[in-house]
Homo-oligomer: A and B are copies of this chain.
Amino acid sequence: MAENLKGAPVAAAITEDLVLRTEKLKEKGIVPCLAILRVGERESDLSYERGALKRCEKTGIAVKQFILPEDTTQEDLMAAISEMNRDRAIHGCLMLRPLPKTLDEKAACAALEPKKDVDGITAGSMAMIYSGNGAGFAPCTAQSCMEMLHYYGVDVSGRRAAVIGRSLVIGRPAAMLLMQENATVTVCHTRTRNMPEIVREAEIVIVAAGKAEAIGAEYFREGQTVLDVGINWSEEKQKLVGDVDFAAAEPVVRAISPVPGGVGSVTTAVLCKHVIEAAEKAAD
């Protein structure tokens, strides 16, 4: 039986630490504040927003919501971003994405102040993740993988890691964060040949393939730590499943995160951590 790497205790530990840091900020007269920008009423956005609101309440973070209609104009969107940038009471901004296709998402991301960019969507944050230097934050989901590894005492330095997926939301930033902590990282993607063989070489595997239960037994061996970042609705099973075929991998590997209840459960805690960090930096 593999160790079950649940997200809840990780999120709880982060939250506990953040409560203390919020108190310290409040003693200085600073109320850490997250702005959430949502366009339209998409169910996945609403559900993530609810989770973020709950976690902010637990950690003592104030929230300002900017809600625009589905058919909003680019002008109104940019005005909202500009207001979030200007408002000195706001320390971090979360823009729920993807935006409706009628809007220019690139321009919106570029307009956001990097030091308030708590989900790593600006060029400034990307340069920071890539170089290990500068202002900004890593995308919350990629950072959540690192928090999982730290909490569960998985030593990263000098270890071989494989990341499946090269997106800007998970694959690329996770690879850079692992390398920053001295892992030897291989990034696999849709064009990778012999992927199972390559993934079996790794001791730490982060899976963000974007395909339900696509990563089966042939990718795994004993001793591995596996983080499954995928979240997919299985019509067949009528439940949420990851990108890993959990039933096939679990008997083989040393440790694996479940879906749901794994990496995804840590994301809003990391979001709050980034807001507190931004508030602490602003207070310096």
- Are B179 and A166 in touch, CB under 8 angstroms? yes
CA distance A23 to B128 in the complex (A): 39
Partner-binding segment picked from A14-22, A129-137, A257-265 = A129-137
A189 to B157, CA, bound (A): 11
Answer whether residue A193 sits at the interface, using C-beta atoms and an 8 A cutoff.
Answer: yes
The one of B126, B186, B188, B189 in contact with A130, judged by C-beta atoms closer than 8 angstroms, is: B126
* A185 and B187 form a contact (CB under 8 A): yes
Q: Do residues A185 and B184 form an inter-chain contact, with CB atoms below 8 A?
A: no
The reply to whether B187 and A179 contact each other, CB–CB distance below 8 Å, is yes
Interface set, chain A 139-193, CB cutoff 8 A to B: 157-160, 166, 168, 172, 176, 179, 182, 184-189, 191-193
A126 proximity list for chain B (CB < 8 A): 126-127, 130-131
List of B residues within 8 angstroms of A198 by Cβ? 160, 184
Asked whether A191 lies within 8 Å of B157 as measured between CB atoms, the reply is: yes
Please tell me how many copies of the chain the complex holds.
2
B188 close to A184 (CB less than 8 A): yes
Residue of B nearest to A190 (CB): B182
Q: How distant is the Cα of A280 from the Cα of B29 in the complex, in angstroms?
A: 52
Please determine whether B179 and A130 come into contact, CB atoms closer than 8 angstroms. Answer: no
Chain B CB within 8 A of A36 CB: no
- With beta carbons under 8 angstroms apart, the residue of B127, B186, B191 that contacts A182 is B191
A77 CA to B72 CA, complexed, in Å: 45
Q: Is the CB of A184 within 8 A of B192?
A: yes
Check if A124 is an interface residue, CB within 8 A of chain B.
yes
Chain B residues, Cβ within 8 Å of A128: 123
Specify which chain B residues have a CB less than 8 angstroms from the CB of A123 in the assembled complex: 123-124, 127-128, 131, 134
- Chain A, range 189-213, C-beta contacts under 8 Å to B: 189, 191-193, 198, 201
| A interface residues with partner B (beta carbon < 8 Å) | 106, 123-124, 126-131, 133-134, 157-160, 166, 168, 172, 176, 179, 182, 184-189, 191-193, 198, 201
